[in-house]
Amino acid sequence: MARVLVGVKRVIDYAVKVRVKPDKTGVVTEGVKHSMNPFDEIGIEEAVRMKEKKLASEVVAVSCGPAQAQETLRTALAMGADRGIHVEVAGAEYDTLQPIHVSKILAKLAQDEKADLVIVGKQAIDDDCNQTAQMTAAILNWPQGTFASKVEKTGEGLTVTREIDGGLETIKIKMPAVKAKKKPIKKVTPKDLGVDTAARIEVLSVEDPPKRQAGAILPDVDALVAKLKEGGHI
């Protein structure tokens, strides 16, 4: 049976309309509702389902971030994860923490914890990078099943149905693989794990996107047809 490591991230709640800071250094996070990245919730659910089907022996949730990341880990534990690992990264170090750093941390933990499968959400809804799974797999030299919509255990490996641009694709990957209260949460730092979190990027600015002006409400379909003609669309 497999031990599953699931990466979870605390992000601004998906329903919040973010505000850019006036000094253009980032978005306002203080006093804003945060929750678990929605794709990571799917990751935890999948891991817990594997446990229910006796395909997984233990589900370990990992989160990298400031002290509040523990809230996200507790959510994962409440959903059925067995234990949590909090990799504490805060302040300026967290501001420039990129998927490459998180991947190195996850890869090290996957080895230390003797995980057979790492699950992460396909992207975090704050940085929208969509990189961590792929990079973790690369560092471990494990296969990857990205954008998975269905995962089945077949023989020694997994059969993964992937959402691709034109439809669906099925691949087989070998295990180990990467595809996201009272229980214990262990606290470590990237340094403990031997991971260098030196900044790989410099944020030059964070700005509002160009605003779209609301147009006019039209009285009927004829008016819409006239507008489409006017715009050269028909």
Partner 1 sequence: MEHSIQLLGHLRCPKYSSIRGTMLSVFVKRGSSSRNISSLLSRFQSTLVIAEHNNEKLLPVTLNALTAAKKLGGEVTVLVAGTKCGPIAEQVAKAPGIAKILVAENEAFKGFLPESLTPLVVASQKQFNFSHILAGATAFGKSLLPRIAAKLDVSPISDVIDIKAPDTFVRTIYAGNAVLTLKAKDPVKVVSVRGTSFEAAKLEGGSAKSENAPSGEYKTDLAEFVSQELSKSDRPELTSAKVVVSGGRGMKSGENFKLLYDLADKLNAAVGASRAAVDAGYVPNDLQVGQTGKIVAPELYIAVGISGAIQHLAGMKDSKTIVAINKDPEAPIFQVADHGLVADLFKAVPELTQKL
Window 16-55: residues binding partner 1 (CB under 8 A): 17-18, 20, 27, 39
234 part of the interface to partner 1, by CB under 8 A? yes
> Is the CB of 65 or the CB of 143 nearer to partner 1?
143
Question: The tokens of 131 are what?
Answer: 């990189």
> Is the CB of 114 or the CB of 207 nearer to partner 1?
207
Candidates 50-58, 80-88, 184-192, 222-230; binding stretch for partner 1 (CB under 8 A): 222-230
CB of 156 to partner 1, least distance (A): 11
65 part of the interface to partner 1, by CB under 8 A? no
> Is the CB of 86 or the CB of 179 nearer to partner 1?
179
Question: The tokens of 7 are what?
Answer: 């990466």
> Is the CB of 79 or the CB of 171 nearer to partner 1?
171
Burial 32-61 (b: 16+ CB within 10 A, else e): eebbbbbbbbbbbebbbebbeeebbebbbb
Candidates 42-50, 87-95, 180-188, 214-222; binding stretch for partner 1 (CB under 8 A): 214-222
For 10, phi then psi, to 5°, come to -90, 125
Q: Among residue numbers 87 through 116, which ones bind partner 1 (CB under 8 A)?
A: 98-100, 103
> Is the CB of 78 or the CB of 138 nearer to partner 1?
138
- d(CA 209, CA 19) in angstroms, rounded, equals 11
14 part of the interface to partner 1, by CB under 8 A? yes
Q: Among residue numbers 153 through 192, which ones bind partner 1 (CB under 8 A)?
A: 159, 162-174
Q: Among residue numbers 131 through 150, which ones bind partner 1 (CB under 8 A)?
A: 131-139, 141-147, 149
CA angle 126, 139, 161 (to 5 degrees): 65
- The β-bridge relationship of strands 2-7 and 56-65 is parallel
- 11 touches 64 (CB < 8 A): no
Among 72, 75, 123, 197, binds partner 1 (CB under 8 A): 123
Candidates 40-48, 57-65, 82-90, 124-132; binding stretch for partner 1 (CB under 8 A): 124-132
Question: The tokens of 218 are what?
Answer: 């039209």
For 81, phi then psi, to 5°, come to -70, 150
DSSP structure class, residue 220:
S
CB of 54 to partner 1, least distance (A): 25
> Is the CB of 171 or the CB of 185 nearer to partner 1?
171
Burial class (CB in 10 A: 0-12, 13-18, 19+), 210: exposed
**Farthest-apart Cα atoms in the chain, separation:** 68
